[in-house]
């Protein structure tokens, strides 16, 4: 056992490194560490999850009430009211006919579910050869085997041996490259194209304005499904309920997590269009989709999701995200003039400040450390600093984040 880290084996962290600082409490848009630092959280819990901010006691109270009433029952042959209610609430807010909600426990599981739905759909309609997937360079689709197989971040795939067959990636936001890949692959072997509306973990890269509509047209023309991975973008991150709304596109399947419960309880979902679901319906009552998770539709998670939707609408936070996101983009753009910055970019409440240099990783890590010492929490990731605040951020808090980043980067120049 490593004396440096003890028994806890943390994700995405060097197992031989020192003990990381611990976050011990949080409220509103701030977190507190074990050394009594109070940090403005411009990461929404670290990875764009806590869209409503920290310490929402009404969510905790609703979850506690549910646990006292019914702590658990699986959805294998039974249901419970909260799962039905949340499925209805989610489907009422999705684009187009995305009306069938399959609950999971995470975004990675939601992607795995979507991949199986896509393959299963084509088998159900008599085209079992359509098993492959096309995705984008820099895309992130979770850390399950299916997710890293379709993901476009090579560092996530290395070290795990053979992956899912039939998965290829093309340059991001290049519609000609996508079309050429489908021709080369033969669309009779491709189940779906999967992508994020805005690439998040891969560097916060928004697409050209008409790109997603072009992808939808190409998928229609080649008879290939479109899966939009909205684990980050969904539930208001782009100033709209979903990225499909932002870019005017209805996918065949959509994945969500993070904002679904504002991370108060783990939960995700794969949401299928009516035409996908209908292909699985068996009037004889046979199991159409042999897939599920022990905690799919957990009552506590469903109650958290219902309360999140209630708060989003009651407080107008999707619209607030839209307005604050526009301000965030204007302010972040000013950092692009700094010598240390290669590019400042983003969309909605997602932004990245990419640093200059052939190997910027040490600079990014040092910048993040100094920014945190100044009382602001941003995410250090590869070549950029990530900014994805809770939707409850104010313009003054945006100013503080941008000004702190600017001051640190000027000092480091």
Burial-class residue 280 by CB neighbours within 10 Å (0-12, 13-18, 19+). Answer: middle
Of 264, 286, 314, the one marking the end of a domain is 314
In a domain, 353, yes or no: yes
CA distance 353 to 382: 11
Residues 299 and 196 occupy one common structural domain: yes
Residues 82 and 175 occupy one common structural domain: yes
Structural domains counted in the chain:
2
In a domain, 157, yes or no: yes
Residues 168 and 113 occupy one common structural domain: yes
Residues 177 and 223 occupy one common structural domain: yes
Residues 344 and 271 occupy one common structural domain: no
Residues 300 and 400 occupy one common structural domain: no
Residues 278 and 374 occupy one common structural domain: no
Residues 373 and 393 occupy one common structural domain: yes
Measured at the CA of 215, the angle between CA 214 and CA 220, to 5 degrees, comes to 100
| 288 neighbors 321 (Cβ within 8 angstroms) | no
In a domain, 20, yes or no: no
Residues 157 and 138 occupy one common structural domain: yes
Domain containing 127 — which CATH number? Answer: 3.40.640.10
Rounded to the nearest 5°, which phi and psi values hold at 54? Answer: -90, 155
Residues 160 and 238 occupy one common structural domain: yes
Residues 330 and 297 occupy one common structural domain: no
- If one counts every other C-beta atom within 10 angstroms of the C-beta of residue 330, the result is 11
Q: Which structure tokens are listed for 318?
A: 């999707």
Core vs surface per residue 68-87: b (16+ CB within 10 A) or e: eeeeeeebeeeebebbeebb
| 353 neighbors 405 (Cβ within 8 angstroms) | yes
Q: Whole domain around residue 372: which residue ranges? A: 316-412
In a domain, 321, yes or no: yes
CA distance 46 to 387: 10
Contacts with 57 (C-beta within 8 Å, 6 or more apart), sequence order: none
Q: Which structure tokens are listed for 270?
A: 């794969």
Of 275, 293, 314, the one marking the end of a domain is 314
Residues 115 and 220 occupy one common structural domain: yes
Nearest C-alpha neighbor of 270 from the set 102, 107, 76: 102
Contacts with 176 (C-beta within 8 Å, 6 or more apart), sequence order: none
Measured at the CA of 194, the angle between CA 251 and CA 174, to 5 degrees, comes to 100
pTM to 2 decimal places:
0.96
Q: Which structure tokens are listed for 34?
A: 């074990």
Sequential pLDDT tens for the chain (413 residues): 344 567 888 888 776 666 777 899 999 999 999 999 999 999 999 999 999 999 999 999 999 999 999 999 888 878 899 999 999 999 999 999 999 999 999 999 999 999 999 999 999 999 999 999 999 999 999 999 999 999 999 999 988 989 999 999 999 999 999 999 999 999 999 999 999 999 999 999 999 999 999 999 999 999 999 999 999 999 999 999 999 999 999 999 999 999 999 999 999 999 999 999 999 998 877 778 899 999 999 999 999 999 999 999 999 999 999 999 999 999 999 999 999 999 999 999 999 999 999 999 999 999 999 999 999 999 999 999 999 999 999 999 999 999 999 999 999 98
In a domain, 163, yes or no: yes
């Amino acid at each position: 056992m490593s004396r440096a880290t003890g028994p806890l084996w943390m994700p995405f962290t060097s197992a031989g490194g020192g003990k990381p600082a611990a976050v011990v409490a949080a409220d509103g848009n701030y977190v507190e560490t074990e050394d009594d630092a109070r940090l403005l959280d411009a990461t929404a819990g670290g990875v764009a999850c806590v869209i409503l901010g920290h310490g929402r006691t009404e969510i905790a109270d609703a979850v506690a009430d549910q646990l006292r009433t019914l702590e658990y029952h699986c959805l294998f042959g039974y249901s419970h009211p909260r799962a039905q209610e949340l499925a209805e609430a989610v489907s009422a807010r999705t684009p187009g006919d995305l009306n069938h909600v399959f609950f999971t426990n995470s975004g990675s599981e939601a992607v795995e579910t979507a991949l199986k739905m896509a393959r299963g759909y084509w088998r159900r309609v008599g085209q079992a050869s359509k098993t492959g997937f096309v995705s984008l360079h820099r895309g992130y689709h979770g850390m399950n085997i299916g997710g890293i197989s379709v993901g476009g971040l090579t560092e996530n795939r290395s070290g795990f041996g053979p992956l899912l067959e039939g998965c290829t990636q093309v340059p991001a936001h290049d519609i000609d490259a996508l079309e050429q890949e489908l021709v080369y692959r033969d669309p009779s072997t491709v189940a779906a194209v999967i992508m994020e509306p805005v690439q998040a973990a891969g560097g916060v890269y928004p697409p050209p304005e008409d790109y997603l509509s072009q992808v939808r047209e190409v998928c229609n023309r080649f008879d290939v499904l479109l899966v939009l991975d909205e684990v980050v973008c969904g539930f208001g991150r782009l100033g709209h309920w979903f990225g499909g709304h932002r870019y005017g596109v209805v996918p065949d399947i959509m994945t969500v997590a993070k904002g679904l419960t504002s991370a108060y309880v783990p939960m995700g979902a794969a949401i299928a269009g009516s035409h996908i679901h209908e292909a699985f319906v068996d009037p004889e009552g046979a199991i159409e989709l042999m897939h599920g998770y022990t905690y799919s539709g957990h009552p506590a998670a469903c109650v958290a999701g219902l309360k999140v939707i209630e708060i989003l609408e009651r407080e107008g936070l999707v619209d607030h995200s839209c307005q604050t996101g526009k301000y965030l983009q204007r302010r972040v753009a000013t950092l692009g003039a700094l010598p240390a910055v290669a590019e400042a970019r983003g969309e909605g409440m997602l932004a990245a400040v990419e640093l200059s240099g052939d190997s910027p990783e040490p600079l990014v890590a040092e910048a993040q450390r100094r920014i945190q010492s100044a009382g602001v929490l941003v995410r250090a990731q590869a070549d950029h600093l990530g900014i994805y605040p809770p939707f409850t951020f104010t313009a003054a808090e945006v100013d503080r984040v941008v000004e702190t980043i600017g001051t640190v980067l000027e000092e480091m120049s």
